């Protein structure tokens, strides 16, 4: 399994080179499927979404597919995941994304696809692999309101691969409240490991190896 879990997409050459290495071939020889599902649960201006979509498209893929997880037949979704070399899952609401995967019975199919493909997550798309993605972590992190706005009080982790939790956008100008004091408050409440990463950083998972690649800063609290 090969995962590149970013905070804000492929923002720098270090992250792009990491994806090339995981992919093992040039972008222009690869198919990518772009999953926007998490973004549609966010209100307000979506300029960030357009910017990341265009930045990704500009890398020059052989085929660039866009796939919404809701409203399509399950087998159609799975077939298009399997057709891609890279599965790129955009940011937005990680709770909506997790519920879309579990509610449409896609978790097993996703895992099958990821056995031989590269997964790139952006923000919400990077957060869905923790077994600690629950209503308990929502209280710890302080974003339970984002779950409740969906009309939900519980959330089931769709994959549960890692015990650590990933929190993106550390020190981001788009999230000015996410400073070290904010991170310290979360750590004081948490009973699970947490990575905090900024928008120039990613967690790379290659089979059983987990490491951090970065042109910015990050924190890990075991």
Contact 150, 38 (CB under 8 A): no
pLDDT tens readout for residues 29-39: 999 999 999 99
CA 133 vs CA 32, 106, 108, 126, 215: distances in Å: 26, 17, 17, 11, 27
Q: With 0-12 CB in 10 A as exposed, 13-18 as middle and 19+ as buried, what is 50?
A: exposed
List the alpha helices (DSSP H) in the chain.
Answer: 13-23, 47-57, 74-83, 94-103, 107-114, 124-127, 135-141, 144-148, 180-189
Tell me the average pLDDT across 46-60: 98
Name the pLDDT band for 15 (thresholds 50, 70, 90).
very high
Name the pLDDT band for 56 (thresholds 50, 70, 90).
very high
Q: Which residues contact 129 (CB under 8 A, 6 or more apart)?
A: 3, 5, 121, 157, 159, 160, 161, 162, 166
SS3 at position 145: helix
What CATH number does the domain containing 212 carry?
3.40.50.880
State how far the Cα of 126 lies from the Cα of 73, in Å rounded to an integer.
24
CA 83 vs CA 30, 103, 110: distances in Å: 10, 22, 12
pLDDT at 199: 98
Tell me the average pLDDT across 130-153: 95
- Maximum Cα–Cα distance across the chain: 46
pLDDT at 143: 95
Range of the domain at 154: 2-221
Long-range contacts of 211-215 (CB under 8 A, 24+ apart): 213/14, 213/15, 213/18, 214/14, 215/12, 215/14, 215/15
Report the number of distinct structural domains present in the chain.
1
Name the pLDDT band for 221 (thresholds 50, 70, 90).
very high
Q: What's the mean pLDDT when you consider all of the chain?
A: 97
Tell me the average pLDDT across 135-160: 95
State how far the Cα of 40 lies from the Cα of 218, in Å rounded to an integer.
28
Tell me the DSSP string of 81-95. Answer: HHH-SEEEE--S-HH
pLDDT tens readout for residues 156-212: 999 999 999 999 999 999 999 999 999 999 999 999 999 999 999 999 999 989 999
Q: What are phi and psi of 194, to 5 degrees?
A: -140, 130
CA 166 vs CA 25, 126, 176, 192: distances in Å: 28, 7, 18, 11
Name the pLDDT band for 214 (thresholds 50, 70, 90).
very high
pLDDT tens readout for residues 87-141: 999 999 999 999 999 999 999 999 999 999 999 999 999 999 999 999 999 999 9
Provide the 10 A C-beta neighbour count for residue 28: 9
């Amino acid at each position: 399994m090969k995962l590149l879990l970013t905070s804000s997409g492929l923002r720098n050459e270090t992250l792009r080179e990491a994806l090339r290495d995981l992919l093992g071939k040039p972008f222009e020889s690869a198919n990518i499927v772009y999953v926007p599902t998490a973004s549609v649960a966010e209100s307000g201006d979506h300029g960030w979404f357009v910017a990341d979509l265009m930045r990704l498209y500009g890398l020059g893929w052989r085929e660039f597919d866009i796939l919404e997880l809701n409203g399509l037949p399950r087998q159609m979704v799975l077939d298009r995941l399997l057709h891609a070399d890279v599965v790129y899952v955009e940011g937005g609401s990680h709770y909506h994304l997790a519920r879309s995967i579990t509610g449409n019975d896609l978790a097993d199919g996703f895992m099958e696809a990821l056995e031989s493909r590269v997964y790139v997550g952006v923000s919400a798309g990077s957060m869905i692999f923790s077994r600690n993605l629950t209503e308990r972590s929502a209280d710890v992190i302080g974003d339970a309101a984002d779950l409740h706005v969906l009309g939900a009080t519980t959330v089931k982790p769709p994959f549960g691969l890692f015990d650590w939790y990933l929190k993106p956008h550390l020190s981001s100008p788009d999230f000015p409240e996410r400073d070290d004091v904010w991170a310290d408050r979360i750590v004081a409440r948490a009973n699970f490991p947490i990575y905090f990463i900024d928008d120039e950083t990613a967690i790379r998972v290659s089979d059983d190896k987990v490491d951090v690649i970065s042109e910015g800063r990050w924190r890990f609290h075991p």
